[in-house]
Amino acid sequence: MSKRKSKEAHLPVGECIRKLQTVLRQRLCQQMLPSSLEGLEAQHKHLLELLKRTAAHGESNSVLIVGPRGSGKTMLLKCVLRDLLKEADVQRTLLQVHLNGLLQTDDRIALKEITRQLNLENVVGDKVFGSFAENLAFLLEALKKGDRSSSRPVLFVLDEFDLFAHHKNQTLLYNLFDVSQSAQAPIAVVGVTCRLDVLELLEKRVKSRFSHRQIHLLSSLTFPQYLHQVGSQLSLADDFPDAKFCQDWNSSIQALCQDKSVEEVLRRHFNSSKDFRSMQMLLMFCLGRVSIKNPTVRPVDLQEASRLCFSDAKANMLHELCLIIAMKHLNDIYEGEPFNLQMVHNEFKKFLQRKSSSMYNFEQPVIMKAFEHLQQLELIRPADSATLKTQREYQLMRLMLDPSQIMEALQKYPQCPTDVKQWAMSAFG
């Protein structure tokens, strides 16, 4: 027993924290696939059986995956493909073509992308065809092997499917569905869309060739399942390099999910949005607060992360708007000379002195963040390269907006408080 313990790796806490953050960031940001899809088992089974019939038995199919953003449509498809490709025969023969309506904005671009993904550029060469249908027929014919009677199955995935309905005459959709219906070649067409009314967008001739199979992902996740998902997203696997750290971390996550204040925060998010992306954003904010001094996720971390997620976008805009108005006044006073954050803050304080309301009483870190965001948007920029070596509060900056642009923007912003507009119009703040 003592020998086994001595062989166990015990890494420094800092190293464990770095490895922990790497693992969880990959999981949360790169959307690593879960081992099983909780709450989507029926949809997973349906889609897997459908694609198996194409990949293994040469049967053509078409299906739409419909659901709101963040409901798990792409994750479902990726999990099905992962499970499908576990079979050696399928992995060897199945070809995949992934198109996106945001990228392939017309049939010419789509056909070029199909040719590229099927590695048929050399086959096509300089051949010129009369229509999209002839092009597609030639590509599918080129995939046939041996006796020309059998062809490799092709899976077409059309992300943002509803945008393909805006192509001229819906030629791409018509030809893909026509091939899938007429059994010219074994293909499966999988459309992924957020539009619940997507079938209404299809022309009659296209709709008649579609199988009308739809898989809906209208989240039926219960709160206990949501809570379990949060725990599993934050937990470490058994293969983590330091077994002791892994055990302690997982125990802390289990205790976190049982905390009443945490349950209240998560229930608020669950009632607001059940989608995976908003959950992962919340957990990423929590992960950002983990450090050597704070090696676990505490309830207060989750509460702060929740506050950031629900922060009012208009309030954030107001911070930046007030700074821009202060910069406008500084430009008027000093005739276009550069300014720094401290000068802007002092000008803003003059406005605050005339207001009894605490609505505009932003703390220094909030002001700093708003100032940095304006720099990222290139609404302000450093006066010269030398100023970059100066402390941030004293870096000289220039406003890249004309006063007339600021006043025009204020007029077009109906939610802008009246006193802020009056401050902007006053002569010198």
Cα 9 to Cα 276: distance, rounded to the nearest angstrom: 34
Q: What CA–CA distances, in Å, run from 45 to 19, 40, 228, 376?
A: 35, 9, 22, 46
Strands (E), 203-355: 214-216
What confidence tier does 140 reach under pLDDT thresholds 50, 70, 90?
A: confident
pLDDT in tens, 350-385: 887 776 454 566 677 778 888 888 888 888 888 877
pLDDT in tens, 249-301: 999 999 999 999 999 999 988 887 777 778 888 898 888 888 888 888 999 98
CB-facing half-sphere around the CA of 258: CA atoms within 13 A: 6
Residue type, 236: L
**Percentage of the residues of the chain whose pLDDT score is greater than 90:** 22
Choice between 353 and 191, residue whose per-residue pLDDT is larger: 191
Cα 29 to Cα 93: distance, rounded to the nearest angstrom: 31
Q: What CA–CA distances, in Å, run from 164 to 140, 157, 158, 170?
A: 20, 12, 8, 7
Q: What is the DSSP letter of 196?
A: T
Mean of the per-residue pLDDT values of the chain: 83
Across residues 384-404, what is the average pLDDT? 80
Distinct helix (H) and strand (E) counts, the chain: 21, 9
CB-facing half-sphere around the CA of 109: CA atoms within 13 A: 12
Strands (E), 182-265: 187-193, 214-216
Given this model, what pLDDT does residue 173 score? 92
* pLDDT over threshold 50, residue 6: no
* Nearest one of 47, 45, 44, 40 to 229, comparing CA atoms: 40
Strands (E), 18-152: 61-66, 95-100, 144-145, 150-151
Cα 217 to Cα 76: distance, rounded to the nearest angstrom: 9
Choice between 132 and 223, residue whose per-residue pLDDT is larger: 223
State the helix-helix crossing angle for 276-287 and 223-234, rounded to 10 degrees: 40
CB 91, CB 83: distance < 8 Å: no
Sheet of 214-216, strands arranged across = 95-100, 154-159, 187-193, 61-66, 214-216
Residue type, 180: S
CB 18, CB 11: distance < 8 Å: no
What confidence tier does 336 reach under pLDDT thresholds 50, 70, 90?
A: confident
Q: What is the pTM of this model?
A: 0.63
- DSSP-derived pairing of the beta strands 150-151 and 95-100: unpaired
* pLDDT over threshold 70, residue 143: no
CB burial string 80-115: b at 16+ within 10 A, e below: bbebbeeeeebeebbbebbbbbeebeebeebbebbb
What confidence tier does 4 reach under pLDDT thresholds 50, 70, 90?
A: very low
- Which of 115-119, 146-150, 195-199, 329-333 is the least confident region? 146-150
pLDDT in tens, 309-326: 776 555 667 778 888 998
pLDDT in tens, 52-100: 999 888 888 999 999 888 788 988 999 999 999 998 888 888 999 999 9
Cα 404 to Cα 410: distance, rounded to the nearest angstrom: 10
Given this model, what pLDDT does residue 3 score? 44
* pLDDT over threshold 70, residue 229: yes
Given this model, what pLDDT does residue 193 score? 94
Given this model, what pLDDT does residue 33 score? 76
Given this model, what pLDDT does residue 1 score? 42
